[in-house]
Structure 1
């Protein structure tokens, strides 16, 4: 098989690029303070992106929407394992955690999941009271589960998500959530809360 004739031949333009790249390497660091490989488009692009990010490091706070809470679960086989349910401390005790837990349980029911589980700190009495409202029961304990202080976690479990009466529970919880949010000045609209 023959190789193309021009393979390996330098062009005037190619030499110019290589020489410019060598000079840049000799001069030291690029815009980001790191040495760049002039032949790598990735390094060059990253440098440009880093520089652009540095110039616009202060976001326009008027465009940002504050995150008041977050809830999520993993769907594992027939189980909804609630991995996070958190409310900004400034917004706790206003029914937002109850609204998120209701949304998670409703979603798990709609997805056909049969049970829900979670871990909670033994000392988190407010969370334990919330989970009891949703009929979670203690299933076990994980000793020294939390690495920050070695605190135990309670494993809570709620079955029957596909039982016929579960839809009734969801409806009751919805009324409780609506009432609690109304009491604290929040209103659910299209799945999002807003202050009234």
Structure 2
């Protein structure tokens, strides 16, 4: 974990504990060493720091390329090892970067919907997630963020058990089909823990 990421993680944890009541479940489902593709629903701009704030490992988030043009973010994002992806096209550089990180045993955080949900309901996932999942040796961990981000309200983050990628490979699923199964795993967490 680099020093800037560690400092940002500490600040994020402090912020969330001061203004929300975060409850974290399932951290034990994230392996301590091997590559992890962390797939979460997306309901707020604060989702990335929330998803990574309470983990012992550094999460390298894939972020839309436009964020790397925002004055403050274009300085911060590369320092915390986030990497850009161009939406609406097949971004081969982002694919190569993500696969290399996963093969090197790193944690890569993605929001398969590609954008925030305006309704809070889980949207359709993009096929690139299935591509990463099928092509890498990483564990695929579904993650559900449940809550409203209202100050002093409760936020719940649930890290699920690894998705069975061996079965998907045996069935020769396409990236689109693999993405659908990963999204179903996220939906199951939302259904189980949402009150």
State the structure with bigger RCO (CA 8 A, min sep 6), 1 or 2. 2
Larger radius of gyration: 1
TM range (shorter): under 0.3
